[in-house]
Amino acid sequence: MSLVIKGGRLMDPANAVDGNRDLYIDDKGFVVGIGAAPAGFKAARTIDASGRIVCPGLVDLRARLREPGFEYKATIESEARAAVASGITTLCCPPDTVPVIDTPAMAQMIQSRAWRFGFAFIHPLGALTQNLEGKLLTDMEALDDAGCVGFSNAFKPVIDTLVLRRAMEYCATFDLTVFLHSEDPWLRAGGRAHEGEVATRLGLPGTPEAAETVGVARDLALIEHTGVRAHFCNISSARALTMIAQAQQHGLPVSADVTAHHLHLTEHDVVDFNTQCHVRPPLRSARDREALRAALKSGVLAAVCSDHQPHEPDAKLAPFAQSEPGISGLETLLPLTLALTDEGVLGLSEAIALLTHRPADVLGIDAGRLGVGDTADVCIIDLQARWTLEAERMISRGRNSPFLGRPMHGRVTHTLVGGRLVHEYQTG
């Protein structure tokens, strides 16, 4: 169905567009006109976006869908639905499913399931080593062919430096991107909270900042040595940011992302052993949070992601160190990023860039932009809408969020994927 989105403020930072423009979409799901209708265009439907922002559908660099293997927590269908309700039209999922995404069949299965439900696009990351064990390489070229947009060992850092070197060289051979969760496993050793004054007071085993910086230092040295394109996932400390910024200045092909929650919360939010604040890497100091915010502005960080990890209630109903880490973050990705614009950390256009074309560029995919000829993945946002995150109204199966009860502003009113309306906010 062809449609026109009328009267909205079109914001497409990739194409430096920011102003009142109507958007014209053909019945094949492509953008065919911006500002003025192309000759002979007839819209079968009109969407009124007056007073709203019209921007590319959001690209979430990291979201776990729990399928296959953890369907008791969530499924591809439930989470893809939650994604589009939150304006997210493209998701990248890590390979740590069960079984692991280390065969082309697994990669294809996930994409085709996503396709069947017709909500967000899902691009998987392939496993860097077989079964994530850190010993043997996977068929990365075949996995790339099967749709993997990069390779990762998820939360199991490759300890054997020689294996990591070889994996990076292999990725570099085929121009593949490696996604790293840099961490020194011995320094991390059982840590569950940031090693700092709060962990000291609460008696929680701590992960020192050095666990991240030692990991990043090692990985940077190998990146330089092998020439692979690398992306650092979920940076949490100021010191690691400094090291990455330096590497970028020296011309190394490295990028990095931060989670929405690390931009808002710190170790002090772990009051009364709140397991909703148990994340990996942990929430660190206020100083680290300020550095992360500054790095969004300076460009060291390419994207804000949700790091979505939906859990069943029991996963969080345990003593802190025994609870499972992770926040159900799809539904708060946009409002938490918008909140940074309220606080003057970012401009609105910069915020949208961090959620659209910049993460798309990290993944090397065609998304996050609305130029003529681009796929019409669109997100319409009512910036004035105020709402509160409530567990019963969350669409994701995971209700594990420390932001429950927190007032948010900015609501997605319409989401289109490939020109199809997949989400429309109903009042009441």
Partner 1 sequence: MTRDLQFDASGGLTHLLTLEGLSRQTILEILDTAESFIAVGEREIKKVPLLRGKTVVNLFFEPSTRTRTTFEIAAKRLSADVINLAVAASSTSKGETLLDTVRNLEAMRTDLFVVRHAESGAAHLIAQHTPPHVHIINAGDGRHAHPTQGLLDVFTIRRHKGAFENLKVALIGDILHSRVARSDIHALTTLGVQELRVIAPKTLLPTAVEKLGVRPYTDMRAGLADVDVIMMLRIQRERMQGAHIPSEQEYFRVYGLTPDKLECAKPDAIVLHPGPMNRGLEIDSAVADGPRSVILPQVTYGIAVRMAVMAMILGGREDTPGRRA
Q: What is the DSSP letter of 405?
A: T
Contact with partner 1 (CB under 8 A): which of 35, 38, 51, 203? 203
Query: Rounded CA gap, 168 and 190, in Å?
Result: 28
Q: How far is the CB of 205 from partner 1 (least distance, A)?
A: 8
Query: Rounded CA gap, 140 and 171, in Å?
Result: 7
Output phi, psi for 378, to 5 deg: -130, 150
Q: Whose CA is closest to 327, among 4, 73, 100, 53?
A: 73
Q: Which is nearer to partner 1, 136 or 317 (CB)?
A: 317
359 forms part of the interface with partner 1 (CB under 8 A):
no
SS (H, E, C) 217-281: HHHHHHHHHHCCEEEECCCCCHHHHHHHHHHHHCCCCEEEEEECHHHCCCHHHCHHHCHHHCCCC
Count CA atoms closer than 13 A to 81's CA, side-chain side.
Answer: 12
277 forms part of the interface with partner 1 (CB under 8 A):
no
Q: What is the CA radius of gyration of the chain?
A: 21
202 forms part of the interface with partner 1 (CB under 8 A):
yes
273 forms part of the interface with partner 1 (CB under 8 A):
yes
314 forms part of the interface with partner 1 (CB under 8 A):
yes
307 is catalytic: yes
286 forms part of the interface with partner 1 (CB under 8 A):
no
Q: How far is the CB of 134 from partner 1 (least distance, A)?
A: 21
Cis, peptide link before residue 13, omega less than 30° from 0: no
185 forms part of the interface with partner 1 (CB under 8 A):
no
325 forms part of the interface with partner 1 (CB under 8 A):
no
Check 60, 144, 184, 307 and give the catalytic one.
307
Count of residues interacting with partner 1 (CB under 8 A): 22
Q: Which stretch binds partner 1 (CB under 8 A): 26-34, 251-259, 300-308, 313-321?
A: 313-321
Q: Which stretch binds partner 1 (CB under 8 A): 46-54, 126-134, 286-294, 312-320?
A: 312-320
42 forms part of the interface with partner 1 (CB under 8 A):
no
Helices 330-342 & 76-85 angle (0-180, nearest 10): 30
320 forms part of the interface with partner 1 (CB under 8 A):
yes
CB 20 within 8 A of CB 8: yes
Q: How far is the CB of 262 from partner 1 (least distance, A)?
A: 20
35 forms part of the interface with partner 1 (CB under 8 A):
no
Q: How far is the CB of 97 from partner 1 (least distance, A)?
A: 20
Q: Which is nearer to partner 1, 119 or 320 (CB)?
A: 320
385 forms part of the interface with partner 1 (CB under 8 A):
no
Q: Which stretch binds partner 1 (CB under 8 A): 160-168, 193-201, 215-223, 363-371?
A: 193-201
Q: Which is nearer to partner 1, 199 or 238 (CB)?
A: 199
Q: Which stretch binds partner 1 (CB under 8 A): 36-44, 69-77, 266-274, 377-385?
A: 266-274
388 forms part of the interface with partner 1 (CB under 8 A):
no
Please count the helices (runs of H) and the strands (runs of E) in the chain. 12, 21
Q: How far is the CB of 201 from partner 1 (least distance, A)?
A: 6
End-to-end Cα distance, the chain: 27
208 forms part of the interface with partner 1 (CB under 8 A):
yes
Q: Which is nearer to partner 1, 1 or 317 (CB)?
A: 317
Bridge partners (DSSP) of residue 33 are 24
The total of other beta-carbon atoms located within 10 Å of residue 127's CB is 31
Q: What strands, in cross-sheet order, belong to the sheet with 303-305?
A: 126-127, 151-152, 177-180, 229-232, 254-259, 303-305
391 forms part of the interface with partner 1 (CB under 8 A):
no
Q: How far is the CB of 313 from partner 1 (least distance, A)?
A: 10
User: What's at 56, amino acid-wise?
Assistant: P
Q: Which is nearer to partner 1, 42 or 201 (CB)?
A: 201
Q: Which pair of structure tokens corresponds to residue 320?
A: 């802190």
Contact with partner 1 (CB under 8 A): which of 101, 114, 204, 263? 204
Q: How far is the CB of 198 from partner 1 (least distance, A)?
A: 9
CB 280 within 8 A of CB 326: yes
What does the buried/exposed string (b/e) look like for 252-263 if buried means 16 or more CB atoms within 10 Å of the residue's CB?
bebbbbbbbbbb
403 forms part of the interface with partner 1 (CB under 8 A):
no
Catalytic residues: 307
Binding site residues, partner 1, CB under 8 A: 195-197, 199-206, 208, 271-273, 314, 317-322
